[in-house]
């Protein structure tokens, strides 16, 4: 296949960026989308050009590093699929493909297609954990967890922290990411003691990072590679409302 | 605790909390509209019944409350609801624009999928649709409550004000347009409000609430449209 | 042979406390010096890596009160490659009452490693395994549970008890998120500072002790020096030397290799594990291989057509013309033989022309029988996500057509040599997780790397590093202007300058691919003296060519992925040579290291315990000099050494 790529190029955080057009030839359907970009980059390098910077690591859909908006869709056209697990067989010979970075004020572009997602780490640092000092843990079987709750926690814990939800949300909200973590920890008995303080601290951090609010648009769930369902955002709101009256003096 | 950012907002002013506030206002308005629609259907009972109903609204709970008291309490609640609803809407709108470099869903250069992948038209029109409703309400109050605008002729009788107005096609059309905008707003809004209030916490509930939103929107659309249409075609007259 | 290496002194583990094996770890902990909580704030530790090992260590040390600086090359600590582990984690909980015990886990691990690991270390690992599960559950790791609410386990990777805890196909992710969240909690508490997108390029050694690192800020290109009382490397494995592997694209040997060049011995570099169940290569463009969890072998049956060159659709091949070769050759373990055995068997089938798929490099993993027996729904429930992944990559439906699998480089048992305290031969340099060599011997059993990483990070290192810190504070007056610091910084600058100056006509990736194919060919599933000698020659030539023809684009002072890659590949060249030398020196077959010269009449691996019951720890002897071999003798007091048999 021959493909025309229009790629966002931007030298660094301060520089202005623009879409630049490239042609790649001889692409096979068995190549992953990133392998197609590898081909482009090798050609660019040999021709004395500047390879396109893009984030990736595991290339098997689990680390959450890869992050491209492909033809306007975060992680591209296939549902439940990260960019690295997208294969070229889903594109047509001669197609024009637009490639852009995640866009959100909280995710500044560092170079080309790479953005800074450390805001998500700071949201976790604000409270996205269970305080379990090493060595102080009780015997694992001392707290049974009903299978239903364990499964719910698991569905939520599947979030790979990629940030596609933010990239897709018209409000630039990280509510799906946040809701997933709240649901994960809140569905488990171990997560109860810190449940109120956790949700309030994380919501505050979410807003302070400059993410927008959620108006239940649902674009996030369309692109989420981990299949995090929309109801986890409602769970988040539920927990916020439950915590607010109980935690008047929280943290300030 | 670390201080990660000096601009920490309190959780009470978080987007999540504001949405809940907005949802409460919105749902109160929905209840009002359901009642209002029911009241409007009284046109089919004739002028006396309808005007009587209008008067009843003003005399209910007398002498516990002065004349018009109940109505004013209702109006205050409504005003508060509209007020907080609109205020919250603008704050959130502002935050959303700030979070997306001012461009919302249009921040990508690609022309493909500008409207996203699966979002509904209804959710797409929330903000401008909301403004349309606001304009309509002003127009509507001037028309049928304060009677400043009076297409078809002014009257002391609310019944006649309606009949006069809705005998004119473009008045009916303007209401119909507004009602469609309103029901689109509510198709998404009712679901969104319930989710914002933390009630849509499972797939089943999500489905139910969506059905509920469609149902209420449809009832309101029909319930509100039937009287003007009947007046227009002459089934209900002076 | 001796032209490739020189003999050094024998080496022994001075920290092993001796005595009854059950009490050794307690004894060591009791003898270790302690630091009062108030003084811990005055001690600092640098941790490189945020995988299971580094993440758990940094979180635990931070919580203990030390000042910790952590570095990783990814954009978030949560993305370390531990996240990719699918299958599970072992622990001797004996929740199944099926005869498991610390002792049995110890035994299985030593046997699985083909008697090339230390008894003391492995016993301690088995002891710690129990606490790991408790710790993870307390953190909210959502392990699989049964309807009664208790934890579920399964049997995994060549053992006969059900001791593997798992979290769907995401055990590594869930465990890592637990460690990452504990780490972020310490970030909030102010004890840990995490520096993401920072790559360690050099170790700083002051007066013979590890005192810091040179890192490159991968966004700005700035070289930074960081100093601390001690340094911990938790940088994972070096399987990427082979280019195609199940590792992440960024996995590298640079951190450990730089430490090696500064004096840390590198042990058993040739022990690389080849995982039997990966998706076969589809073409030249391929950048990585994807693992299909070993758990698939619990229900899938492996076969090839009996006739060589049979290209029929698998559905057209009748039962009688299929060879379920593992079941045939190893009736006791069948499809569940350890990885090394299963991998080599697959290779032999393909070498004999019975391989399947477009390249002939593949065997079938067939769920037809299992689906018939258990129903599609149950298979879907157990393996659905793996089947989906397979379908995504190959565009074939494994529910109806048998999967094709082929072995791929997966894990490296070798790594920096460490003593019982996990300290390398450079005082103050500790090495944990896959980056060290310690616990798996010549072959790692499934589900035991996660166990080792977390044992090291949560329990072992925090129990031993205090002993070092108590009496080895940074000498006064050492700061960024110390000559050792300046020297390290200058060497990194110089190397970077050289890389950027080559400006050749061949991409770094193409060099890497070629290096990988040399290693795979000569230092892969089967090795022999002749091939290894050829490989060493080829590697040297290629390395020379790299330094004169590689094309590294851009400048240092920017986010430059081309430069990052070039630096890593340059280190892989040096490591690759040592791998081959190590493989050459070890004239026996053991575990994953199969020397064709050393096999039984039936073609099974033949160990030579008389000559090779040792750890090979290599010392860097200087640029262009043959490395020095130090042997650490392995003695077995508690386990009877036998020829491994899975028949
Ligand atoms: C696909 C796959 C599946 C697996 N499945 C299982 C399984 O089911 N069960 C099991 O027990 N084991 C499994 N393993 C093995 C196991 O996952 C790993 O051995 C283990 O997770 C390694 O952990 P680690 O902490 O030592 O290193 P890693 O998790 O690899 O972490 C390395 C860290 O070091 C950092 N780093 C590396 N180099 C540098 C540098 N130069 N500068 C700065 N930072 C650096 C990285 O950023 C990263 O944070 C699997 C491995 C793979 C690849
Ligand atoms: C076809 C549709 C509608 C008809 C026929 C209608 C009719 C009327 C009439 C007759 C009144 C005056 C009642 C009185 O003074 O006793 C009234 C008042 C009012 N209507 Fe409507 N209405 C319609 C739709 C709406 C809609 C869609 C809204 C809101 C979005 C709305 C909001 C109001 C409000 C706020 C008042 C004032 C209540 C008060 O007295 O405080 N109406 N309407
Ligand atoms: C009067 C002018 C109105 C304006 C400007 C307006 C504006 C908006 C906007 C912008 C939103 C979406 C905001 C967001 O999610 O970010 C919204 C949501 C909503 N609106 Fe309105 N609206 C108006 C009137 C109404 C009316 C009359 C009703 C009900 C009868 C209503 C009910 C709702 C509900 C229930 C929601 C969902 C709230 C939530 O998501 O939490 N609105 N409105
Ligand atoms: S919720 Fe989904 S889209 Fe968002 S970060 Fe998690 S995995 Fe990515
Ligand atoms: S798209 Fe955005 S508005 Fe909410 S439902 Fe998803 S975060
Ligand atoms: S590169 Fe890891 S998820 Fe895509």
Tens of pLDDT, residue by residue over B191-202, are 999 999 999 999
Helices C529-549 and C483-502: crossing angle in degrees, nearest 10, is 80
Q: Is the CB of A52 under 6 A from ligand 6?
A: no
Distance B190 CA to ligand 3 centre (A): 9
Other CB atoms within 10 A of residue C10 CB: 11
Tens of pLDDT, residue by residue over C119-131, are 999 999 999 999 9
Q: In angstroms, how far is CA C202 from the centroid of its own chain?
A: 21
Q: Is C187's Cβ below 8 Å from some Cβ in B? A: yes
Q: Contact C287/A38, CB-based, under 8 Å?
A: yes
Rounded CA gap, A241 and A235, in Å?
Answer: 10
Residue C180 has pLDDT above 80, yes or no: yes
Q: B115 falls in which pLDDT band (50, 70, 90)?
A: confident
Q: Is the CB of B33 under 6 A from ligand 3?
A: yes
Identify the closest residue of chain C to A154 by CA–CA distance.
C142
The per-residue pLDDT for B3 is 41
Provide the mean pLDDT of chain B: 92
User: Which uninterrupted H or E stretch holds A111?
Assistant: strand A109-111
Instruction: Tell me the CA distances in angstroms from B46 to B162, B167, B228, C233, one per residue in order.
Output: 12, 16, 14, 87
Question: Which residue has a Cα nearest atom 13 of ligand 1?
Answer: C85
The residue to mutate among A33, A55, A62, having the most atoms of ligand 6 within 8 angstroms of its beta carbon, is: A62
Name every residue whose Cβ is closer than 8 Å to that of residue C486 and which is 6 or more positions away in sequence: none
Please answer whether residues C47 and C70 qualify as being in contact, where contact means their C-beta atoms are separated by less than 8 angstroms: yes
CATH number attached to the domain at C483-633: 1.20.58.100
Tens of pLDDT, residue by residue over B79-109, are 999 999 999 999 999 999 999 999 888 999 9
Q: For residue C564, give both structure tokens.
A: 């990052």
The per-residue pLDDT for B4 is 43
User: Following CA atoms A37, A43, A45, A51 in sequence, which dihedral angle do they give, to the nearest 10 degrees?
Assistant: -20
Residue B146 has pLDDT above 90, yes or no: no
Please answer whether residues A66 and C287 qualify as being in contact, where contact means their C-beta atoms are separated by less than 8 angstroms: no
Write b or e for each residue in C496-517: b if 16 or more Cβ atoms lie within 10 A of its Cβ, otherwise e: beebbebebebbbbebbbbbbe
Question: Which residue has a Cα nearest atom 18 of ligand 2?
Answer: B145
B51, β-bridge pairs: none
Mutate to test the interface with A, among C137, C466, C558 (most CBs of A within 10 A): C137
In 3-state terms, chain A is what percent helix, strand and coil (to 5)? 40, 15, 50
The residue to mutate among B16, B23, B26, having the most atoms of ligand 3 within 8 angstroms of its beta carbon, is: B26
Rounded CA gap, C224 and C230, in Å?
Answer: 17
The per-residue pLDDT for C643 is 85
The per-residue pLDDT for B6 is 38
Rounded CA gap, B103 and B110, in Å?
Answer: 13
Which other chains touch chain B, taking contact as 3+ CB pairs less than 8 Å apart?
A, C
Q: Is the CB of A35 under 6 A from ligand 6?
A: no
Distance C178 CA to ligand 1 centre (A): 15
- Compute the count of residue pairs across chains A and B with CB atoms less than 8 Å apart: 196
Chain B residues closer than 8 Å to C188 by CB: 1-2
Rounded CA gap, C619 and C630, in Å?
Answer: 7
Query: Which phi and psi (to 5°) does residue A102 adopt?
Result: -50, 140
Tens of pLDDT, residue by residue over C362-412, are 999 999 999 999 999 999 988 888 899 899 999 999 999 999 999 999 999
Q: Contact A134/C462, CB-based, under 8 Å?
A: yes
The per-residue pLDDT for C549 is 98
Mutate to test the interface with B, among A240, A246, A251, A252 (most CBs of B within 10 A): A240
Q: For residue C93, give both structure tokens.
A: 């909980």
Residue C558 has pLDDT above 80, yes or no: yes
Q: What is the ipTM of this complex?
A: 0.96
Of C146, C184, C509, the CB nearest to A128: C184
The per-residue pLDDT for A247 is 72
Q: Where in chain C is the domain with CATH 3.90.700.10?
A: 275-409
Name every residue whose Cβ is closer than 8 Å to that of residue A150 and which is 6 or more positions away in sequence: A187, A188, C142, C143, C144, C145, C149
Q: For residue C206, give both structure tokens.
A: 């002051």
Which superfamily does CATH assign the domain made up of C16-271+411-471 to?
FAD/NAD(P)-binding domain (3.50.50.60)
Question: One of C40, C78, C104, C339 is an active-site residue; which one?
Answer: C339
Diameter of chain C measured on Cα atoms: 78
Which is nearest to C607 in space by CA: C621, C624, C625, C589? C589
Q: B1 falls in which pLDDT band (50, 70, 90)?
A: very low
Distance from CA of C84 to the nearest CA of A (A): 6
The per-residue pLDDT for B9 is 57
Of C79, C147, C182, the CB nearest to A65: C79
Residue B8 has pLDDT above 60, yes or no: no
Tens of pLDDT, residue by residue over C487-512, are 999 999 999 999 999 999 999 999 99
> What percent of chain C has a predicted confidence (pLDDT) above 70?
100
The residue to mutate among A165, A181, A230, having the most atoms of ligand 4 within 8 angstroms of its beta carbon, is: A165
Distance B24 CA to ligand 6 centre (A): 41
Identify the closest residue of chain C to A142 by CA–CA distance.
C150
| Series of mean pLDDT values for 10-residue runs along chain A (252 residues) | 98 96 96 97 95 97 98 97 97 98 98 98 98 96 95 97 98 98 98 96 96 98 98 98 78 44
The per-residue pLDDT for C157 is 72
Q: Is the CB of B26 under 6 A from ligand 3?
A: yes
Q: Where in chain C is the domain with CATH 3.50.50.60?
A: 16-271+411-471
Rounded CA gap, C504 and C525, in Å?
Answer: 33
Chain C residues closer than 8 Å to A130 by CB: 138-140, 181
Of A73, A238, A240, the CB nearest to B14: A240
Domains and CATH numbers, chain A: 3-110 (3.10.20.30), 118-133+142-246 (1.10.1060.10)
* Mean pLDDT on B206-231: 97
Which is nearest to B210 in space by CA: B130, B123, B113, B128? B123
Residues making up chain C, counted from first to last? 647
Distance B173 CA to ligand 2 centre (A): 16
Of B98, B109, B205, the CB nearest to A105: B98
C339 is catalytic: yes
The per-residue pLDDT for A248 is 58
Q: Contact C395/A87, CB-based, under 8 Å?
A: yes
The per-residue pLDDT for A246 is 84
Identify the closest residue of chain A to C78 by CA–CA distance.
A63
The per-residue pLDDT for A17 is 96
The per-residue pLDDT for B65 is 86
Q: Contact A188/C140, CB-based, under 8 Å?
A: yes
**DSSP string across C486-544:** HHHHHHHHHHHHHHHHH--SEEHHHHHHHHHHHHHHHSSSSB-HHHHHHHHHHHHHHHH
Q: Is the CB of B123 under 6 A from ligand 3?
A: no
Write b or e for each residue in B58-74: b if 16 or more Cβ atoms lie within 10 A of its Cβ, otherwise e: ebeeeeeeeeebbbeee
The per-residue pLDDT for A87 is 97
The per-residue pLDDT for C452 is 98
Q: Contact B18/A218, CB-based, under 8 Å?
A: no
Distance A221 CA to ligand 4 centre (A): 8
The per-residue pLDDT for B68 is 87
Instruction: Tell me the CA distances in angstroms from A48 to B7, C502, C503, C538, C567, one per residue in order.
Output: 45, 13, 9, 28, 19
Chain C residues closer than 8 Å to A12 by CB: 558-559
Rounded CA gap, C596 and C605, in Å?
Answer: 8
Instruction: Please give the class, per CATH, of domain C275-409.
Output: alpha beta
Q: For residue C487, give both structure tokens.
A: 């020297």
DSSP assignment letter at B15: H
Rounded CA gap, A224 and A82, in Å?
Answer: 8
Please answer whether residues A164 and A66 qualify as being in contact, where contact means their C-beta atoms are separated by less than 8 angstroms: no
Ligand nearest to the CA of C453: 1
The per-residue pLDDT for C477 is 93
Domains and CATH numbers, chain B: 14-101+118-232 (1.20.1300.10)
Chain C residues closer than 8 Å to B2 by CB: 187-190
Pocket of ligand 1 (CB under 6 A): C 48-54, 71-74, 80-82, 84-89, 171-172, 199-200, 234-237, 246-247, 252, 254-255, 291, 410-411, 433-435, 447-451, 453
Of A105, A203, A250, the CB nearest to B16: A203
The residue to mutate among B140, B147, B185, having the most atoms of ligand 2 within 8 angstroms of its beta carbon, is: B140
């Amino acid at each position: 296949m021959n493909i025309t790529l229009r790629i966002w190029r931007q030298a660094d955080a301060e520089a202005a960026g623009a879409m630049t057009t490239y042609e790649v030839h001889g692409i096979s359907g068995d190549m992953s989308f990133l392998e197609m970009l590898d081909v482009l980059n090798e050609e660019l390098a040999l021709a004395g050009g500047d390879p396109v910077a893009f984030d990736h690591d595991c290339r098997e859909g689990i680390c959450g590093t890869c992050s491209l908006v492909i033809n306007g869709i975060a992680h591209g056209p296939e549902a439940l699929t990260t960019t690295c697990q997208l294969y070229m067989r889903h594109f047509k010979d001669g197609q024009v493909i637009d490639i852009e970075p995640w866009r959100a004020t909280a995710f500044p572009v560092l170079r080309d297609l790479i953005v800074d997602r450390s805001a998500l780490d700071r949201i976790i640092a604000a409270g996205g954990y269970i305080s379990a000092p090493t060595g102080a843990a009780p015997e694992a079987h001392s707290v049974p967890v009903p299978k239903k709750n364990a499964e719910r926690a698991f569905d939520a814990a599947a979030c790979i922290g990629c940030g596609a939800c933010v990239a897709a949300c018209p409000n630039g909200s990280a509510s799906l990411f946040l809701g997933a973590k709240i649901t994960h920890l809140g569905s488990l008995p171990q997560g109860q003691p810190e449940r109120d303080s956790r949700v309030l601290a994380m919501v505050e951090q979410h807003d302070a990072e400059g993410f927008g609010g959620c108006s239940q648009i649902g674009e996030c769930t369309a692109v989420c590679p981990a299949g995090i369902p929309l109801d986890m955002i409602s769970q988040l709101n539920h927990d916020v409302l439950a915590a607010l009256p109980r935690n008047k003096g929280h943290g300030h | 605790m670390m201080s990660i950012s000096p601009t920490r907002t309190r959780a009470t002013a978080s987007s999540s909390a504001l949405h809940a506030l907005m949802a409460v206002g919105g749902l109160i308005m929905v209840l009002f509209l359901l009642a209002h629609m029911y009241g409007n259907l009284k046109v089919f009972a004739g002028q006396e019944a309808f005007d009587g109903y209008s008067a009843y609204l003003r005399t209910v709970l007398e002498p516990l409350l002065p004349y018009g008291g109940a109505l004013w309490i209702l109006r205050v609640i409504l005003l508060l609801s509209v007020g907080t609803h609109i205020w919250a809407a603008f704050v959130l709108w502002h935050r959303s624009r700030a979070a997306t470099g001012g461009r919302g869903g249009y921040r990508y250069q690609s022309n493909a999928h500008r409207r996203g992948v699966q979002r509904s038209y209804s959710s797409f029109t929330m903000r401008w649709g909301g403004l349309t409703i606001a304009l309509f309400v002003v127009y509507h109050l001037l028309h049928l409550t304060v009677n400043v605008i009076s297409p078809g002729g002014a009257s002391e009788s609310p019944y006649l004000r309606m009949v006069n107005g809705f005998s004119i096609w473009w008045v009916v059309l303007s209401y119909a347009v507004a009602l469609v905008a309103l029901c689109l707003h509510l198709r998404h809004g009712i679901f969104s409000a319930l989710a914002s209030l933390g009630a849509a916490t499972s797939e089943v509930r999500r489905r139910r609430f969506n059905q509920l939103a469609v149902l209420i929107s449809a009832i309101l659309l029909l319930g509100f449209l039937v009287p003007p249409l009947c007046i227009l075609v002459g089934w209900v007259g002076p | 042979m001796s032209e490739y290496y020189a003999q050094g002194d024998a080496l022994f583990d001075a920290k092993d406390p001796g005595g009854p094996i059950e009490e050794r770890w307690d004894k060591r902990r009791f003898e270790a010096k302690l630091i009062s909580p108030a003084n811990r704030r005055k001690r600092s530790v640098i941790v490189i890596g945020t995988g299971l090992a580094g993440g758990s260590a940094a979180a635990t040390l931070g919580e203990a009160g030390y000042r910790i600086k952590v570095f990783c090359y990814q954009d978030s600590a949560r993305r370390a490659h531990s996240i990719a582990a699918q299958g599970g984690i072992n622990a001797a909980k004996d929740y199944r009452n099926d005869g498991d015990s610390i002792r049995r886990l110890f035994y299985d691990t030593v046997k699985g490693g083909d008697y090339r690991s230390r008894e003391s270390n492995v016993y301690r690992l088995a002891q710690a395994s129990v606490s790991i599960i408790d710790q993870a559950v307390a953190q909210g790791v959502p392990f699989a549970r049964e309807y009664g609410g208790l934890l579920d386990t399964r049997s995994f990777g060549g053992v006969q008890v059900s001791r593997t805890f798992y979290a769907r196909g995401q055990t590594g992710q869930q465990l890592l998120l637990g460690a990452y969240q504990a780490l972020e909690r310490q970030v909030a508490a102010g004890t840990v500072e995490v520096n993401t997108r920072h790559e360690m390029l050099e170790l700083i050694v002051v007066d013979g002790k590890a005192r810091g690192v040179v890192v490159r800020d991968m966004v700005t290109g700035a070289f930074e020096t960081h100093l601390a009382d001690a340094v911990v490397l938790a940088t994972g494995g070096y399987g990427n030397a082979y280019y195609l592997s199940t590792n992440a694209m960024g996995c590298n040997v640079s951190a450990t290799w730089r430490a090696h060049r500064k004096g840390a011995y590198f042990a058993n570099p040739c022990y690389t594990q080849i995982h039997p169940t990966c998706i076969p290569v589809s073409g030249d463009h391929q950048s990585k291989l994807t693992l299909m969890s070993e758990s698939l072998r619990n229900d899938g049956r492996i076969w090839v057509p009996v006739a060589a060159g049979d290209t029929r659709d698998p559905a057209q091949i009748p039962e009688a013309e299929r060879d379920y070769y593992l079941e045939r050759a190893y009736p006791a373990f069948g499809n569940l033989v350890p990885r090394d055995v299963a991998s080599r068997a697959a290779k032999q089938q393909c070498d004999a022309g019975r391989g399947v798929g477009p390249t002939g490099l593949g065997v079938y993993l067939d769920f037809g029988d299992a689906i018939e027996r258990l129903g599609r729904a149950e298979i879907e429930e157990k393996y659905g996500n793996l089947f989906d992944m397979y379908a995504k990559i190959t565009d074939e439906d494994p529910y109806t057509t048998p999967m094709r699998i082929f072995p791929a480089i997966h894990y490296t048992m070798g790594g920096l040599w460490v003593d019982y305290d996990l300290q390398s031969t450079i005082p103050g340099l500790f090495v944990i997780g896959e980056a060290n060599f310690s616990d798996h011997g010549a072959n790692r059993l499934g589900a035991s790397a996660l166990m080792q990483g977390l044992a090291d990070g949560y329990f072992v290192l925090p129990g031993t590093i205090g002993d070092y810190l108590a009496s080895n504070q940074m000498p006064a007056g050492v700061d960024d202007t110390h000559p050792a610091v300046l020297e390290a910084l200058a060497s990194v600058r110089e190397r970077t300058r050289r890389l950027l100056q080559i400006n050749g006509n061949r991409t770094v990736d193409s060099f890497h691919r070629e290096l990988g194919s040399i290693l795979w060919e000569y230092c892969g599933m089967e090795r022999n003296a002749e091939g290894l000698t050829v490989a060493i020659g080829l590697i040297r030539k290629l390395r020379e060519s790299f330094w004169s023809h590689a094309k590294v684009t851009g400048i240092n002072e920017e986010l430059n992925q081309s430069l990052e890659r070039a630096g890593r590949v340059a280190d892989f060249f040096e490591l690759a040579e040592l791998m081959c030398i190590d493989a050459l020196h070890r004239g026996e077959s053991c575990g994953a290291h199969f020397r064709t010269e050393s096999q039984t009449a039936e073609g099974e691996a033949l160990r030579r315990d008389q000559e090779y019951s040792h750890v090979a720890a290599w010392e860097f002897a200087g640029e262009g000099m043959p490395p020095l071999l130090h042997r650490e003798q392995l003695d077995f007091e508690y386990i009877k050494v036998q020829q491994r048999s899975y028949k």
